Amino acid sequence: MRHTPLRDQHVALGARMVDFHGWEMPVQYRGILDETRCVRTRGGIFDLCHMGRLEVTGPDRERLVEHVFSANLGKLKHGRAKYGFLLDEGGFPLDDVLVYRDTDLVHIVINATGRDHDCAWVESRRDAAGLDAQVREVSDDQAMIALQGPVSEAVLQPLCDANLGKLRYYAFTNARVRGIPTLIARTGYTGEDGFELFFDPAEAVATWKALLETGADHGLEPIGLGARDLLRLEAGMPLYGQEINTSIDPLEADLGFGVDLAKTATVGIPALAARKAHGLTRHAVSLAAEGGRVPRTDTELFDAAENGERVGRVTSGGVSPTLGRTIARALVHTGYESLGTTLWADVRGKRWPLQVVPHPFYRRGA
Question: Contact at 8 Å (CB) between 360 and 234?
Answer: yes
Residues 21-40 that bind another protein (CB under 8 A): 27-28, 31-34
For residues 179 and 291, which CB has a smaller minimum distance to another protein in the complex?
291
The verdict on 294 binding another protein (CB under 8 A) reads yes
The verdict on 292 binding another protein (CB under 8 A) reads yes
The verdict on 17 binding another protein (CB under 8 A) reads no
Q: How far is the CB of 305 from another protein (least distance, A)?
A: 17
Distances from the Cα of 202 to the Cαs of 25, 50, 128, 142, 207, in angstroms? 18, 15, 37, 9, 10
The verdict on 319 binding another protein (CB under 8 A) reads yes
- Segment contacting another protein (CB under 8 A): 143-151, 195-203, 266-274, 288-296? 288-296
Binding residues with another protein: total (CB under 8 A): 17
For residues 201 and 317, which CB has a smaller minimum distance to another protein in the complex?
317
Q: How far is the CB of 298 from another protein (least distance, A)?
A: 13
Q: How far is the CB of 3 from another protein (least distance, A)?
A: 20
Q: Beta 93-101 vs 106-110: how paired, if at all?
A: antiparallel
For residues 30 and 117, which CB has a smaller minimum distance to another protein in the complex?
30
Considering only CA atoms, which of 211, 237, 53, 210 is closest in space to residue 147? Answer: 211
For residues 129 and 319, which CB has a smaller minimum distance to another protein in the complex?
319
Considering only CA atoms, which of 239, 237, 264, 330 is closest in space to residue 91? Answer: 264
- Segment contacting another protein (CB under 8 A): 67-75, 167-175, 199-207, 289-297? 289-297
CA pair distance 34, 154, nearest whole angstrom: 21
Helix axes 61-68, 118-129, angle to 10 degrees: 110
Assess whether the previous peptide bond of 360 is cis (omega < 30° from 0): yes
Q: Which three-class secondary structure state does DSSP give residue 109?
A: strand
Chain length of the chain: 366
For residues 30 and 176, which CB has a smaller minimum distance to another protein in the complex?
30
Q: How far is the CB of 295 from another protein (least distance, A)?
A: 11
Distances from the Cα of 235 to the Cαs of 82, 268, 321, in angstroms? 17, 27, 12
Give the one residue of 44, 93, 268, 318 binding another protein; rule: CB under 8 A.
318
Question: Contact at 8 Å (CB) between 218 and 155?
Answer: yes
CA pair distance 340, 292, nearest whole angstrom: 18
Q: How far is the CB of 296 from another protein (least distance, A)?
A: 8
CA pair distance 45, 208, nearest whole angstrom: 8
Give the one residue of 52, 91, 150, 226 binding another protein; rule: CB under 8 A.
226
Segment holding 284, helix H or strand E = strand 282-289
CA pair distance 361, 64, nearest whole angstrom: 36
The verdict on 90 binding another protein (CB under 8 A) reads no
- Segment contacting another protein (CB under 8 A): 117-125, 187-195, 257-265, 318-326? 318-326
For residue 137, list its beta bridge partners: 54
Q: How far is the CB of 227 from another protein (least distance, A)?
A: 9
Segment holding 55, helix H or strand E = strand 52-57
Residues 227-246 that bind another protein (CB under 8 A): 230
For residues 36 and 207, which CB has a smaller minimum distance to another protein in the complex?
36
For residues 33 and 129, which CB has a smaller minimum distance to another protein in the complex?
33
Give the one residue of 291, 335, 353, 358 binding another protein; rule: CB under 8 A.
291
The residue ranges that bind another protein (CB under 8 A) are 27-28, 31-34, 226, 230, 291-294, 296, 318-319, 326, 348
